Amino acid sequence: MKIRSVEYAGTVAEPGGPAPGDLPQVAFSGRSNVGKSSLINTLLRRTRTRIAHVSATPGKTRALNFYRVNDDFFLVDLPGYGYARVPDAVRDAWAELIEWYLGESGDVRAVVHLVDARHPPTEHDRRMAEYLAELGLPVLIVLTKMDKLKRSERARSTVRAIDVLGVDETQLLPFSSKTGEGRDELLEALDEIVSGEGGA
């Protein structure tokens, strides 16, 4: 897949809100500080004029943000979870929105879930992987910030993620927003998902 065009298409802030169109949707999820905005900008080649907001303060994405890619599909940026300084009421509202979107909207083709390669997957990560398995949604686990790991730590990080999340090695993809590692592979996976040729 080559990125020809990207545009912000709209936001859904409450359960039941309408999507900005009927294109296939691929959701991107992960903790607030996992590097999701950086990955999206790198993936979509928007590192100069950023389309996803990169903030020094995690937790800025507070709704479902839809980006129309190539007029082929929507990349949907989900609110980051697990950020301690977000009030409980806000976090509960995010959880309700995400659960409705993933479980009831019926519009999600697959989920790309981000995990920081430098740390063990969290309880939130494990629960998300279990939840997606229950829903039967294809999931691709992307290990971010791989450039920060030594060679010996990379394999350990991969094995640890497979162990904790209960996923197959084929569902794991190393990624670095700094070096671009994993970008082509992620675009290829998205192409398969959107074309219906395969899942994550």
Per-residue pLDDT reduced to its tens digit, 59-83: 445 789 999 999 999 999 998 765 5
Distance of CA 48 to the CA centre of its chain: 21
Determine contact, residues 29/35, Cβ cutoff 8 Å. no
In 3D space, the residue among 199, 58, 183 whose CA is nearest the CA of residue 137 turns out to be: 199
Query: What mean pLDDT value characterizes the chain?
Result: 86
How does DSSP assign the chain, residue by residue?
A: -----EEEEEEE-STTPPPSSSS-EEEEEEBTTS-HHHHHHHHTT-SSS-SSPP-SSS----SEEEEEETTTEEEEEPPPB--TTS-HHHHHHHHHHHHHHHHTS--EEEEEEEEETTSPPPHHHHHHHHHHHHHT--EEEEEE-GGGS-HHHHHHHHHHHHHHHT--GGGEEE--TTT-TTHHHHHHHHHHHHHTS---
pLDDT in tens, 78-108: 987 655 455 566 667 778 898 999 998 888 9
Domain range annotation of the chain: 6-195
Residue 31 phi, psi (nearest 5): -60, 160
- pLDDT greater at residue 53 or residue 125: 125
Q: What is the pLDDT of residue 87?
A: 58
CATH of 6-195, one of 3.30.70.980, 3.40.50.12780, 3.40.50.720, 3.40.50.300: 3.40.50.300
Q: Which pLDDT band, with edges at 50, 70 and 90, does 196 fall under?
A: confident
